[in-house]
Amino acid sequence: MNKPKINLRVSTVTALLAAAAVTLILLPAGAQEETAPEMDWTPLPDSIITAKDECCKAITIADQQCESDTALAELTRNKALAEAQDDLLEAIQKAIKAAERTDKPDVAAALQEAADSVTAQTSAPTDPVSIVGIWLFTSVNGTTGTFAFYSDGVVKEEGQTGPEHSGSWRVTDGRVVVNWGGGVWCVLRMPLDPECAVGDDLYGIEAFVAVKQETKIDQPADGVNWDDFSNSVRRAKTNYDKAVAKAIADCDRATQSARATHTKAVRAAVAPLVRELQKHRKAAVRDNNIGLIVNLDKAIQFVQSEMAPREPEDILLGKWSSRGATWTFAPNGAASINYDSGGGDSGRWRITDGYVSVIWTTQIKTSRSSLAPARGPSRMATRSSLDTTIPMIWAVRQSIAGPRWSALRLPLDESGTTVDSWEGLAETTIQKIHEDTD
């Protein structure tokens, strides 16, 4: 155990944190020279140009403030993670020394393995609570299932009398992705909440919740079973998990707050410029100055589309293209997709947590069309009437099915937004179509 290296790392993070705090104080006063948006402002009155310059300065300061606040939040998180790791490693080191004093080499070796796993941990910033353990899943239709996640990437259905179902799990793109085979998959969103983790599957987004159970789980040979250690080590591991979860949550809240503050500041910066433009447009209309009206309208449109903050809905509305299809989103919540090969679908869209959710009219095909529609496990005839190759919870959802769905990941990117769907994660990418309205 190399404690000097650990302490040095914490000291380095602390120094970076202090440097960031100094930068946070100095940035607004020493803001860089603003870069004016690409537009010809010269035909407009001097008062508008002055208002534009002041707006750009304020936006530059807001941008730098947001960057500083975000960097400070990340450094604070990293410092908390390092301190939490140090506390856990210190407890393990004490336990190793105690094991060596009592001539328990096997215990000391297991503790060292645990320490090595902690120092090698690279997923903590995105996985504050380990997926490893036993989780109770509850589907939107009320079906439940208990699943054991092992550190070697294996997941198994627990507590059922039918065939044993095993799948695989991996962490990717901010999600725990579980694959049961046969095209059946689900994801748990991260950071994981052990009391209520939200999950999506091929039959819908926000399709189930998962709660981590207190039940112990035997780790595979290459894993670490913390339950084998002393109370002090187990307590330190519990405190470590809580500290990491808190550090991640605090960072997320601080980052979201920084973005909200930035949006508010940019709106405040843009408002005087818009008022100045509208004031001159009214005067130009009174004077019947057509040329100035045209230039002012271009400036107003530019400010609203390029300088002012835009809500997801503002970006979403209109047409988008994907490989072989055109998507249309209307202000009334209607959505449609038309395929280049012919045909299409219609649906409804809404903005939800992390997504623009689209529910289409066409239904997902059930695995056994002869099954009558069900509303939950109480409507099932027998387990044998369902697909026995997948866990019960998804066999029931498969028999019920439901409408096809798509989920555009937020924030929307007009040059390429990732879309999840019933067909799979990152199933396609769509780009905004900018139509000529002249």
Domain membership of residue 167 (yes or no) is yes
Q: Do residue 231 and residue 116 come from a single domain?
A: yes
Is pLDDT at 329 greater than 90 in this prediction? yes
How would residue 251 be classed by pLDDT, with cut points 50, 70 and 90?
confident
Is pLDDT at 101 greater than 50 in this prediction? yes
Which of 179-188, 276-285, 307-316, 419-428 is the most confident on average? 276-285
Whole-angstrom distance between the N-terminal and C-terminal Cα of the chain? 70
Domain membership of residue 185 (yes or no) is yes
Cβ-contact 220, 150 below 8 angstroms: yes
Nearest to 245 by CA among 285, 212, 209, 293: 212
Q: Do residue 109 and residue 13 come from a single domain?
A: yes
Count of domains in the chain? 3
- More confident of the two residues 286 and 219: 286
Is pLDDT at 191 greater than 90 in this prediction? no
- Which residue, of 170, 192, 222, is where some domain finishes? 222
- Tell me the two tokens of residue 27: 């940035």
Domain membership of residue 82 (yes or no) is yes
DSSP label of 138: E
Nearest to 76 by CA among 189, 265, 243: 243
Q: Do residue 427 and residue 320 come from a single domain?
A: yes
Domain membership of residue 392 (yes or no) is no
Domain membership of residue 385 (yes or no) is no
Q: Do residue 230 and residue 183 come from a single domain?
A: no
The fraction of the chain above a pLDDT of 70, given in percent, is 81
Q: Do residue 4 and residue 117 come from a single domain?
A: yes
Q: Do residue 217 and residue 270 come from a single domain?
A: no
- Which residue, of 309, 329, 356, is where some domain finishes? 309
Taking only the tens place, the pLDDT of each residue in 253-267 is 898 899 889 999 999
How would residue 337 be classed by pLDDT, with cut points 50, 70 and 90?
very high
Is pLDDT at 22 greater than 90 in this prediction? no
Average pLDDT over all residues of the chain: 82
Q: Do residue 212 and residue 285 come from a single domain?
A: no
Q: Which domain holds residue 330?
A: 312-365+401-433
**Whole-prediction pTM value?**
0.62
The dihedrals phi and psi of 321, each to the nearest 5 degrees, come to: -125, 145
The fraction of the chain above a pLDDT of 90, given in percent, is 49
Q: Do residue 199 and residue 234 come from a single domain?
A: no
How would residue 218 be classed by pLDDT, with cut points 50, 70 and 90?
low
DSSP label of 102: T
| Helical ranges in 120-230 per DSSP H | none
Among 25-39, 270-284, 415-429, name the one with the lowest average pLDDT: 25-39
CATH of the domain at 211: 2.40.128
Cβ-contact 299, 337 below 8 angstroms: no
The reported pLDDT for the residue numbered 121 is 62
The reported pLDDT for the residue numbered 217 is 66
Taking only the tens place, the pLDDT of each residue in 108-166 is 999 998 898 888 765 444 554 578 889 999 998 889 999 998 877 889 998 766 678 89
Is pLDDT at 26 greater than 60 in this prediction? no
Q: Do residue 16 and residue 69 come from a single domain?
A: yes
- Which residue, of 199, 222, 245, is where some domain finishes? 222
Taking only the tens place, the pLDDT of each residue in 356-404 is 999 999 998 875 443 334 344 434 435 557 888 899 999 998 888 789 9
Is pLDDT at 233 greater than 60 in this prediction? yes
Domain membership of residue 378 (yes or no) is no
Q: Do residue 301 and residue 269 come from a single domain?
A: yes
The reported pLDDT for the residue numbered 54 is 96
Q: Which residues of 168-194 are buried (b: 16+ CB within 10 A; e: fewer)?
A: ebebeeebbebebeeebbbbbbbbbbb
How would residue 37 be classed by pLDDT, with cut points 50, 70 and 90?
low
Domain membership of residue 393 (yes or no) is no
Q: Do residue 123 and residue 272 come from a single domain?
A: yes
How would residue 18 be classed by pLDDT, with cut points 50, 70 and 90?
very low
CATH of the domain at 361: 2.40.128.280
The reported pLDDT for the residue numbered 132 is 81
β-bridge partners, 177: 170, 187
The reported pLDDT for the residue numbered 10 is 40
Burial class of 344 by CB neighbour count within 10 A (0 to 12, 13 to 18, 19+): middle
Q: Do residue 35 and residue 164 come from a single domain?
A: no
The reported pLDDT for the residue numbered 116 is 87
Domain membership of residue 239 (yes or no) is yes
